[in-house]
């Protein structure tokens, strides 16, 4: 079963932010640091903290929700790239991770290595989809039995670290893509909005649609002014 952990998010340096804001008639809403960061960066572009410093404007939008809603509606989402969040996904398949790493712009990825991590056959789990009548579990069990025989045929205690790494590297080539693994993934808000839209579509692959459905719920709750609509 897949699990989603939000382990990192922006934290503002309020001392420096307040120093920058001296002389500007603007106060931050009581929202997340990530949403405030996006708003501040957007207001920097037009010096729109108030209607005094920029003589080309006569009024400014008040409030983080209204401001970010207009930014998104206008398609000026580059300011959303300033905020990034980090997730760890566990119990996902390598089918999932192969699809996830296709999203490269605005992302960082750190995946569990099967070269350095020797897996215990008895703990390897299958991440399966709905029952289609194909005996996936039976086929997986046979593969794991063969993998276990190979693991047990090696005298691991007599191997150096480099040799263990070499053997693990070879053994991973027979492991199925449907086995469970772990991956860390960081994305900025602009990319995250795009990935959620694509991967929660009815046309998306079942597992990644389920995982990003969970991701969408998490970020919509924490950052409603960016992800709360739709």
Q: What is the C-alpha separation between 144 and 176, in angstroms, rounded?
A: 9
Domain assignment present for 150: yes
What whole-number percentage of the chain has pLDDT above 70? 95
Return the closest-CA partner of residue 97 out of 199, 216, 227, 19: 199
Residue 195, domain member (yes or no) = no
Pairing of strands 107-111, 3-8: unpaired
- pLDDT tens-digit profile of 179-226? 999 999 999 999 999 999 999 999 999 999 999 999 999 999 999 999
DSSP 8-state class, residue 179: B
Neighbours of 108 (CB within 10 A): 12
| Count of structural domains, the chain | 2
Q: What is the bridge-based pairing of β-strands 84-93 and 3-8?
A: antiparallel
Residues annotated catalytic, as ranges:
199
Residue at which a domain ends, from 174, 195, 217 = 174
Looking at 152, 174, 196, the residue that finishes a domain is 174
- The answer to whether residue 210 is domain-embedded is no
Domain-embedded: residue 86: no
| Domain range enclosing 57 | 10-81
Query: Residue 109: which H helix or E strand, with range?
Result: strand 107-111
pLDDT tens digits for the chain (230 residues)? 899 999 999 999 999 999 999 988 899 999 999 999 999 999 998 888 876 776 666 677 889 999 999 999 999 999 999 999 999 999 999 999 999 999 999 999 999 999 999 999 888 999 976 666 788 889 999 999 999 999 999 999 999 999 999 999 999 999 999 999 999 999 999 999 999 999 999 999 999 999 999 999 999 999 999 999 75
pTM of the predicted protein model:
0.91
Three-state DSSP class for 154?
coil
Residue 228 lies in a domain: no
**Angle of CA points 196, 178, 7, to nearest 5°:** 45
**CA 105 – CA 12 distance, rounded (Å):** 24
Domain boundary among 81, 108, 140: 81
């Amino acid at each position: 079963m897949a699990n989603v952990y939000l382990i990192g998010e922006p934290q503002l340096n309020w001392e420096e932010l307040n120093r920058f804001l001296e002389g500007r008639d603007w106060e931050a809403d009581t929202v997340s640091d990530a949403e405030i960061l996006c708003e501040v960066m957007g207001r920097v572009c037009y010096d729109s903290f108030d209607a005094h410093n920029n003589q080309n404007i006569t009024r400014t939008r008040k409030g983080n929700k209204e401001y970010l809603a207009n930014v998104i509606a206008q398609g000026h989402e580059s300011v959303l790239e300033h905020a990034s969040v980090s997730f760890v996904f566990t119990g996902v398949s390598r089918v999932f991770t192969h699809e996830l790493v296709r999203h490269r712009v605005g992302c960082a990825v750190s995946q569990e290595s099967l070269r350095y991590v020797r897996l215990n056959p008895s703990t390897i789990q299958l991440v399966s989809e709905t029952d289609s009548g194909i005996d996936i579990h039976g086929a997986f069990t046979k593969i794991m039995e063969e993998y276990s025989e190979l693991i047990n045929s090696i005298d691991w205690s007599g191997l150096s670290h480099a040799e263990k790494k070499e053997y693990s590297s070879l053994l991973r080539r027979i492991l199925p893509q449907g086995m469970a693994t772990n991956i860390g993934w960081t994305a900025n808000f602009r990319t995250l909005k795009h990935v959620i839209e694509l991967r929660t579509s009815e046309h998306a692959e079942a597992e990644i649609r389920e995982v990003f459905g969970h991701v969408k719920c998490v970020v919509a709750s924490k950052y409603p002014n960016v992800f709360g609509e739709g």
